[in-house]
Amino acid sequence: MSQESSRQSVSSAEETSDNNFTNHAHAIHVRNAPSVLSKEAPPESYRGFLNLAMLILAANNLRLIIENFLKYGFLLSTPGTIAAPYDYTCLMICFLVLPLHIIFAFYIEKITIRPFLNEIKLAKKEGKEPTITPKIKSINKRAGILHTVNITFILLFPSAVSYFIIFHPFLGSIALFNGLALFFKLISYAFVNRDLRLSQLIGGISSSSKEETKIPIIDVYSVQYPNNITLKDLFYFWFAPTLCYQPSYPRSPDRFRPGFFLKRCGEIAIACTMMYFLVEQYANPTLRNSLRAIDELSLVSIVERVLKLSTISLAIWLLMFYAVFHSTLNLLAEVLRFGDRSFYLAWWNSGSLGTYWRLWNRPVYQWFKRHVYLPLVDNGVSPRVASFIVFTLSAAFHEFLIGIPTHSLKGFAFVGMMSQIPLIEMTKPLEKWRGKGSTFGNVIFWMSFCLVGQPAAILLYYYQWNMTHQI
C-alpha cells in the first residue's frame, strides 16, 4: 500500500494529533457509501477497462504472431517469384493495349464534332432553333455504336488473357481491375459528351427563355463542348481518381506538394509490404490448414478457421482500403491537382450495410448513381427496382473481377453481393430503430461484413482453387 498522498485524505480528526498514543482509535468509516460497482453508486468512468481490452487485443495478436513464428519460421519468398515471367509479360500487354482504346474513344468523339456543328450552323442559317433532328440522332447513334464496340473490347481482351493465359490470380486481377476502371470511365465519357452535345442545341442560342424545353443547360463547367474533346483532357481523365467524366473538375488550390506526395508513396510501400507479409505468413498457412476442415465438413473446425481468418483478412482488407482509397487516389489527385478528394466517407461508423455500401467506395457509387440509377429513375423505373438493377450489375462485376482471375466462374461472388440486398433490408429497420450510427447497428454491420462474410468467401475461393489446381 503506497501512502505517499498521506494524511490529508483520511479523516479530519487526525490533524490535531501528534501524540503517538492516540492515533489508532480515529474513525476510518465515517459515512455511508455504496460500492463503486453498485447500482446506487454515482456513475463512474470505466475507461480503464477499455484500455485493458485494447491491450489484451494487442497481446492476443502478439501471441498469435509468436505462435505462428514458432510453428512455421519465416515463410517469405522473394516477391517477384510468386508468378511465372510469362504472366508478367501478359499483364504488361494488357496495360499497353489500354491507351489504344483511349485514343480510339477520342477519335470517335472527334469525328462526331464536325457533322454536329454543321447541323447547328445549318439550323441557325435557316433561322430555326437547333433541335434534335434525325440527322443529329443518327450522328449520336453512330458514335454510340462505335463506343460500344470499343468499350466491349476493353473488357474482353484482359478477361480472355487472365482467364486463359495468366495463371496467378493476383496478376490476373490487376489486369482486369485496370480494364474495368477504363471501361467505367469510357462509358461515362461517351454518355457525358452525348449529353453535352444535346445541351448545346439550346444553349447555343439563349439560355434564359427556354426553361420549359426540358433540356437544361450544363453551365457548371469552365470548359464548353467541343473544347473538351482533346487527347490531353481524356488522358487526364484516365489518370484522374474518378470514374465520372466531366469537362472540368474542381482543382486543388495549392500547387503540387512534394511532402504530401512522398508520404503517400511511403504509405503505399509500407501497406504493400505488410499485405504481402500477412498473406504469405498468416493467410496462406491458415488456409492450407483449413482444407482438411472443409473436406471433413467439420462445422466446429470450419467456424474456428473462419474466426482465425477473420482477423487476418480484415487486416489485409483495411490495408488494401487505405493503400488504394487513401494513399493511391490522393497521390493521383495531388499530381493532377484534382480537388474533390472524398473518395470515401466515414463508412466505419455505418449503422447498416446500406450506409456502408454508399460510403466506402465513392467513385463506383457515384458512377452507378449518375449513369445507372438516376437515368433509370428519371425514365420512370421505381427507386427500389433501380436499386436492384444496380446491385445486380455490381454483383456481376464482382463475379467478373474475382471469378475470372481465379478461373472459377461459379457465382460465389455474385451470390455474395446479391445477398447484400436482403441483408440491407434487414439492417435498415435497425438503423431506424436505434438511430443512425448506433453502436448496435455498427456491430451488426462489422459482424456481417468483415467477420463472417469475407473470410467465408476467401475460404470458398481458396478451396475451389485447390480443388481445380491440386497444389
Among 97, 205, 218, 270, indicate the residue that binds a second copy (CB under 8 A). 218
Map the footprint of a second copy across residues 141-160, applying CB under 8 A. Answer: none
71: left (phi over 0), alpha (psi -120 to 50) or beta: alpha
Among 369, 407, 460, 466, indicate the residue that binds a second copy (CB under 8 A). 369
Least distance to a second copy, CB of residue 201, Å: 10
Give dist(CA 162, CA 376) in Å, integer: 33
Map the footprint of a second copy across residues 27-86, applying CB under 8 A. Answer: 27-38, 44-57, 59-63, 66-67, 69-70
- Give residues with Cβ within 8 angstroms of 203, minimum separation 6: 217, 218, 219
Q: Closer to a second copy by CB, 42 or 127: give it.
A: 42
Q: Closer to a second copy by CB, 163 or 388: give it.
A: 388
Residue 335, number of CB atoms within 10 A of its CB: 14
Q: Which amino acid is at 385?
A: V
Among 104, 261, 276, 391, indicate the residue that binds a second copy (CB under 8 A). 391
- Give residues with Cβ within 8 angstroms of 179, minimum separation 6: 94, 98, 154, 155, 157, 158, 159
Least distance to a second copy, CB of residue 85, Å: 37
Q: Is 26 a catalytic residue?
A: no
Among 82, 155, 270, 377, indicate the residue that binds a second copy (CB under 8 A). 377
Least distance to a second copy, CB of residue 447, Å: 6
**Ordered DSSP codes for 124-144:** HHTTPPP---HHHHHHHHHHH
Among 16, 78, 209, 470, indicate the residue that binds a second copy (CB under 8 A). 16
Map the footprint of a second copy across residues 95-134, applying CB under 8 A. Answer: 132
Map the footprint of a second copy across residues 335-364, applying CB under 8 A. Answer: 339-350, 353-354, 357-358, 361, 364
Please choose, out of 98-106, 217-225, 268-276, 456-464, the segment that lies near a second copy by the rule CB under 8 A: 217-225
Residue 381 near a second copy by CB under 8 A: no
The torsion defined by the Cα of 317, 322, 326 and 327, in degrees rounded to 10, comes to -120
Q: Which amino acid is at 148?
A: T
- 343's grid cell: 473518395
Beta strands in 179-243 (DSSP E): none
DSSP-based three-state secondary structure for 298: coil
Among the listed residues 29, 398, 407, 469, the single catalytic one is: 398
Q: Do residues 105 and 231 touch, judged by C-beta distance below 8 A?
A: no
Map the footprint of a second copy across residues 169-198, applying CB under 8 A. Answer: 188, 191-192, 194-196, 198
- Give residues with Cβ within 8 angstroms of 266, minimum separation 6: none
Q: Closer to a second copy by CB, 111 or 215: give it.
A: 215
Residue 324 near a second copy by CB under 8 A: no
The contact pattern for a second copy, residues 415-454, with x = CB under 8 A and - = no contact, is: ---------x------------x-x--xx--xx--xx---
Residue 186, number of CB atoms within 10 A of its CB: 25
Q: Closer to a second copy by CB, 56 or 269: give it.
A: 56
